[in-house]
Amino acid sequence: MLNWSLPAGCCGLIFDCDGTLIDSMPLHYQAWVAVLRRHNLDFPEALFYEWAGVSVEEIVRRLAEAQERVVDAGTIAEERDHCFHSLAQSALRPVDAVVEIARRFHGQLPLAVATGSTQASAEASLRGIGILNLFDAVVSSHDVGRPKPAPDVFFVAAERIAVAPADCVAFEDGAAGLQAAREAGMHVVDIRRWLPPHREE
């Protein structure tokens, strides 16, 4: 069993989804490459991991602006989600250490997911590894005004589980998400040390 203890005074847990609860980042990158190739956009793998936690549409906008292309970010985001779901149907795996924590505190503390992905994508992934039922709320970047690295998604997640942000622990794997959780005033756990070897950074 993972040797992790709940900080004193904390009474709510908030988890990022992709790369934190689910070892899905390589599949996400595969979907990005397949879709962006059709739109003549390039997405270097190092940049993909650097932008972990940033919303799908925001990533498309950044890439298009940097590469001086005019695209429909919403349409490309939908294509990418569809491609990811087709790849992920039988290939998703949990990040065991983080899922263990969620299972340990399910029914004892309120739990939420705060994701830069769409709600449909996050719920499908969580359902795919059998843990959607552990969470009292799933909050996506579409539910808030500003995506990560702004703290909005964490504030909304804390509100949905009725716990003050300062009394929440946030679990994250990406720089944008870690910054967002810290700006929300939460206790922050960088889970990258618990990731499988191919994702350690």
Annotated catalytic sites, by residue? Answer: 16
What is the SS3 string spanning the chain? CCCCCCCCCCCEEEECCECCCECCHHHHHHHHHHHHHHCCCCCCHHHHHHCCCCCHHHHHHHHHHHCCCCCCHHHHHHHHHHHHHHHHCCCCCECHHHHHHHHHHECCECEEEECCCCHHHHHHHHHHCCCHHHCCEEECHHHCCCCCCCCHHHHHHHHHCCCCHHHEEEEECCHHHHHHHHHCCCEEEEHHHHCCHHHCC
Copy the structure tokens of residue 67.
Answer: 């590469």
Copy the structure tokens of residue 182.
Answer: 């810290």
